Chain A
Amino acid sequence: MTEAERAAQELSPKMGRMGAEDPSKVPPSAPQAEPPKQKKPALRIQGVRKSYGQVVAVAGVDLVVDEGEFFTLLGPSGSGKTTLLRLIAGFERPDVGRIELGGRDVTNLPPYARDTNTVFQDYALFPHMSVAQNIGYGLRIKGAPRQVRERRVQRALEMVRLGGLGHRRPNQLSGGQRQRVALARAVINEPEVLLLDEPLGALDLKLRQEMQIELKQIQKEVGITFVYVTHDQEEALTMSDRMAVMSNGQIEQIGPPVEVYEQPATEFVAGFIGISNVLLRDGVRFVIRPEKIRMLAAGEQAEPGMTVERGQVEEVIYIGVSTRYLVRLDRGEQLVAVRQNMDALGDAQKFEGRPVRLAWTPDQTYVLGQREVKEAR
């Protein structure tokens, strides 16, 4: 067991208890009458709307997040995802609708009476307190005894790999370290739901990718429900158990990353997540992902059952691991095709301006607006 794992276990004794039912609660003679325990939702949002003057920020959202889930709200800026998070935290009150945390109606409770904690985008660390004081603030407010507090702060510091930095001030830390402090300060309280508002937005790419993995690990270890807001589709796909794609204050699609990516419910989702080619053939609109398109070499035959269309390569974009081709189809649309760079050096460039044939399997396309039907034609 690593230090961090031990820390996580220590940090959340209530999570440990959840698996094994407390035997003292069940009388020994009781028959097995108890219904199979259903996973209770950590968070339930029903018909929530919120507008500021004329601007509708959240336009009717229904959502259920299960206990222990890593749930992501993904959307462009202005899609209402942050407002939704603030509604859950209690910083805003909905115009209509209902918010439940662990089965309890919290719609009209202030933030301090809700069992949620937030990791803020700007971290919001208290500048006049040390790192340890920051992390221990929630416990202090709840009146935890000093010894308990110090022990748990120590554990939390180790969990986020900041052991030994407890005495520092936030302004003596790097961006990544502040991020960890903000996380530890929230996680230590073992909230019903942990809310994260674009927590990695201020970090550089490499650090962000490291933190993505680390966040996910910590979430698994402590078993707390995470609701994570981001506009970064890659982040959402990488980390989430399930994700909701938001646009204009509404949820366009909810599902596991694979489903959302492979079977986008709307054109918006298809366009927002990854690169999507939307084609209209025989009155059917469907999506085909760039990596599912094959560019046939001269003289190469398409496999049986594949759809083949002709076009001309307009642009070749080299992106290291792969090359992206913008192809103008003879039927008018522009498609993006992606190929791994397995050819000899510079071969990709030769395609520029050339006519090509593109082939794909209809199985791998996805018809828009028909979630259950997989085949394009």
Chain B
Amino acid sequence: MVLRVWVVLILLFLFIPILLIFFYAFNTSNIQSWPIPGLTAKWFGATWADENVRAALVVSLQAGLTATVIALVLGSCAAFAIHRTAFFGREVISLLFVLPLALPGIITGIALNAFFSFNGISLSLLTIVVGHTTFCIVVVYNNVLARLRRTQGSLLEAAMDLGANGFQAFRDITLPLISTAVVAGGMLAFALSFDEVIVTTFTAGSQSTLPIWIYGQIRHGVLLPEVNVVVSFVILITVIPVVIAARLTGGGGIARVPAAR
């Protein structure tokens, strides 16, 4: 009983601030104070009309989607390589793949920034994509590798035993079994990219992504109602893929099937 109360308190502590932002997004006043004087949807129209917001949204989507696609290809390949082959230093390589997620973003950011300026590469959408890819790879890699490890090794042998060559076995057995893990990894990667601030700060040129725009507005203390709208939007865009990814890897459907024995 006491435990339940604690859990509820902790959840409230975590989520009340976020809920508050959703409320403020409908606030008739542009001054944030409680209780809010009334509800309105006018800020949504105003925000959508703001060209800076729209430009930032486009950059965010472009960066997120591109980084995700690159991460899907590279992360899956890396997971296969690590899973299928045994070589000297495999564990080290594996650790190096995961490290960008554990490293403070500021280190990744500064390092990339230094690298780009040293090589005379001007900051652009491309550099944002590179920055995001570093940590997007990790989630794809982790998801795919975990799934591969959970899949019975004898399944591929069984397929080959039944006459399937390497390609056919991959197409008929491996791919269907890891597909949900790949999709989940991609969704998590996109969610990570979409709300990333620190690495973006160091790798973005004149463009800003949505989180960077939010950060800028809060620093200047203007357009706060619009900020609330954008933050609500970013939260939704981030949470939805995370929830879907959790369902894909955790419960139901094909995701659970590899455990069949």
Contacts and interface: CB of A to CB of B under 8 A. Distances in A.
Contact of B257 (A120, A128, A186): A128
A142 interface: yes
Contacts of A123: 261
25 contacts: A89-B161, A111-B157, A111-B161, A112-B160, A112-B161, A112-B162, A112-B164, A112-B165, A118-B161, A120-B154, A122-B154, A125-B158, A126-B155, A127-B155, A128-B176, A128-B257, A137-B172, A138-B163, A141-B162, A141-B168, A142-B163, A171-B257, A185-B162, A186-B161, A186-B162
A253 to B, nearest CB: 29
Interface string A37-70: 0000000000000000000000000000000000
A127 B160 contact: no
Contacts of A312: none
A109 to B, nearest CB: 11
Interface of A: 89, 91, 110-112, 116-118, 120, 122-128, 137-138, 141-142, 169-171, 185-186, 189
A101 to B, nearest CB: 13
A128 B163 contact: no
A349 B58 CA distance: 90
Contact of B160 (A110, A128, A142, A169): A110
Given A124-B155, A126-B155, A117 B168 contact: no
A137 B156 CA distance: 13
Interface centre among B155, B160, B161, B176, by most A CB within 10 Å?
B161
Contacts of A116: 161
Contacts, number: 69
B157 A189 contact: no
Given A112-B163, A141-B163, A124 B177 contact: no
A189 B254 contact: no
A170 B260 contact: yes
Given A141-B164, A142-B163, A171-B260, A128 B254 contact: yes
Nearest to A137: B162
Nearest to B261: A122
B173 interface: yes
Contacts of B176: 128
Contacts of A111: 157, 160-161
A128 B164 contact: no
Contacts of B160: 110-112
Contacts of A138: 162-163
Nearest to B175: A128
A111 B157 CA distance: 8
B166 to A, nearest CB: 9
B100 interface: no
Contacts of B158: 118, 120, 124-126
Contacts of A118: 157-158, 161
B74 interface: no
A306 to B, nearest CB: 54
Contacts of B177: 127-128
Nearest to B164: A141
Contacts of B164: 112, 137, 141
A125 B162 contact: no
